[in-house]
């Protein structure tokens, strides 16, 4: 086995681990919001939380956040439509960052460290691709074309900016610590 072959296998295996781990975490958070699984409050509690944080309409916001996390997470874990899954998760995490930003950076103080990290990893996977051990690879990259990466990321960024700007108008800026939900729900 050549070094090139061994290095490629390691990279693909690393992408698999990163995708499954990050995708699993995101999917679990989304399942908390949508289904009440893993100790979450379900869509009713997520809707109340979105309303308290200044997102409108709150039920649509809760649904979008849950689908962005759960759907994006599942797509990342499977390595299917990776640009779309990564962009959806990254855009959702941008909203969580906006909520947690008033509390500073570190998660221990309610800051945005954790959702920012998940968002950066999701965006990085959208750009890098899923690797050889993925459904994208098995399907001949039919749902992972080069043009999809910028399209998905630009679309997700535009939607996230619009949602966050609309929320910030309602809460009078970047929000307040009282607006933050428990970081386990993000």
- Say if residue 20's pLDDT is above 80: yes
Confidence of residue 172 (pLDDT cuts 50, 70, 90): confident
Q: Can you give the pTM of this predicted structure?
A: 0.87
Residue 24 confidence (pLDDT): 98
Q: What percent of the chain has pLDDT over 70?
A: 88
Residue 8 confidence (pLDDT): 65
Residue 178 confidence (pLDDT): 42
Residue 84 confidence (pLDDT): 98
Residue 1 confidence (pLDDT): 54
- Say if residue 185's pLDDT is above 60: no
Give the burial string for 4-38 (b: 16+ CB within 10 Å, else e): eeeeeeeebeebbebbbebbebbbbbbbbbbeeee
Contact in structure between 77 and 25 (CB atoms under 8 Å) = no
- Say if residue 107's pLDDT is above 90: yes
- Say if residue 173's pLDDT is above 80: no
Residue 14 confidence (pLDDT): 96
Q: What is the pLDDT of residues 137-147, one digit of tens each?
A: 999 999 999 99
- Say if residue 103's pLDDT is above 70: yes
Rounded to the nearest integer, the mean pLDDT of the chain is 91
């Amino acid at each position: 086995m050549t070094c090139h072959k061994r290095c490629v296998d390691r990279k693909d295996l690393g992408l698999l681990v990163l995708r499954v781990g990050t995708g699993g975490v995101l999917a679990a958070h989304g399942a908390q919001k949508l289904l009440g699984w893993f100790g979450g409050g379900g869509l009713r509690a997520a809707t109340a939380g979105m309303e308290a944080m200044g997102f409108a309409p709150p039920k649509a916001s809760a649904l979008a956040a849950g689908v962005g996390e759960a759907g994006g997470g599942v797509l990342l874990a499977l390595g299917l439509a990776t640009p779309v899954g990564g962009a959806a998760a990254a855009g959702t995490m941008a909203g969580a960052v906006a909520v947690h930003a008033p509390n500073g950076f570190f998660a221990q103080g309610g800051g945005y460290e954790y959702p920012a990290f998940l968002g950066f990893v999701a965006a990085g996977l959208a750009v890098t691709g899923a690797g050889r051990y993925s459904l994208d690879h098995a399907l001949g990259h039919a749902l992972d074309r080069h043009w999809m990466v910028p399209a998905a990321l630009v679309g997700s960024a535009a939607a996230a900016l619009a949602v966050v700007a609309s929320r910030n108008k309602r809460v009078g800026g970047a929000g307040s610590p009282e607006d933050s939900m428990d970081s386990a729900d993000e």
